Structure 1
Amino acid sequence: MGWRRKRVPQRGRKAPPPQLHGNINNLYFPIRWRDRLHWDSPNPAAECQRPRSDVGLPKTRARPDHVGKSILWKRVGGQSWAAQGGAGVLGAFSDRMSSLHRGCRAAMPPSTWPERTSSTLSEAYYQPSLTAEYDEDSPGGDFDFFSNLVTKWEAAARLPGDSTRQVVVRSGVVLGRGGGAMGHMLLPFRLGLGGPIGSGHQFFPWIHIGDLAGILTHALEANHVHGVLNGVAPSSATNAEFAQTLGAALGRRAFIPLPSAVVQAVFGRQRAIMLLEGQKVIPRRTLATGYQYSFPELGAALKEIVA
Structure 2
Amino acid sequence: MNDDPALFERFLEMLAAESGASPNTLSAYRSDLEQASRRLGGKLAIAGREELKQVGQHWSGLKNSSVARKSSSLRRFFGFLLEEGFRDEDPSDALPRPGISRNLPKVLSHEEIANLFSILKEKLEFDPVKPSDVRLSALLELLYGSGLRASELVTLERRSLAIDRQYLIVKGKGGKERLVPISDQARHSVRLWVSLTDPQEKYLFPSRKGHISRVRLFQIIKELAVQAGINPGKVSPHVLRHAFATHLLEGGADLRSLQTLLGHTDISTTQIYTHVDSARLVELVNDRHPLGRRNLSR
> Shared topology, TM-score over 0.5?
no
**Bigger proportion of residues as helix:** 2
Which has the larger share of strand? 1
TM range (shorter): under 0.3
Which has the larger Rg?
2
What TM-score does the superposition give when structure 2 sets the normalisation length? 0.28
